[in-house]
Amino acid sequence: MSALSGITVLEFTRVLAGPWCGMMLADLGADVIKLESFDGDDTRGMGPPFNADGISAYFACCNRNKRSIMVDLRVPAARPLLEALVGEADVLIENFRTGTAEHLGLDYAQLSAVNRRLIYCSISGYGRSGPGADKPGYDYVVQAEGGLMSITGPADGAASKVGVAVVDLATGQNAVIAILAALRHRESSGRGQRIDLSLFDTQISWLANVGSSVLFSGEDAPRLGNEHPSIVPYQSFRTSDGEFVLAIGSEKLWLQACEALGRDDWLRDPRYINSALRVKHREVLCAEMAVLFGKRETVHWLALFERVGVPAAPINSVQQALSHPVAKAHELLVEIDGVPMVGSPLNFSASPVSYRRPPPKLGEHTEEIVRRFGFDPVKLRVEGAIR
* pLDDT tens digits for range 59-118: 999 999 999 999 999 999 999 999 999 999 999 999 999 999 999 999 999 999 999 999
Amino acid type, 139: D
Among this protein's residues, is 168 annotated catalytic? Answer: yes
Q: Residue 47 pLDDT more than 90?
A: yes
Q: Which residues, in sequence order, are CB contacts of 132 under 8 Å at separation 6+?
A: 125, 126, 198, 200
Q: Which residues pair with 236 in a beta bridge?
A: 245
Of 73, 74, 38, nearest to 92 by C-alpha is: 73
Write out pLDDT tens, residues 164-208: 999 999 999 999 999 999 999 999 999 999 999 999 999 999 999
Contact between residue 244 and residue 302 where contact means Cβ atoms under 8 Å apart: yes
Q: What is the pLDDT of residues 342-368, one digit of tens each?
A: 999 999 999 999 999 999 999 999 999
- DSSP label at residue 220: P
pLDDT exceeds cutoff 90 at 268: yes
pTM comes to: 0.94
Beta-strand (E) ranges in 274-355? Answer: 312-314, 333-336, 339-342
- Write down the catalytic residue from 90, 107, 168, 201: 168
Nearest CA to 93 among 121, 71, 73, 113?
A: 121
Instruction: Provide the pLDDT confidence category of residue 267 given band limits of 50, 70 and 90.
Output: very high
- Report all structural domains of the chain as residue ranges with CATH numbers, in order of start: 8-206+335-382 (3.40.50.10540), 234-315 (3.30.1540.10)
Tell me what pLDDT residue 1 has. Answer: 80
By DSSP bridging, strand 119-124 and strand 91-94 are parallel
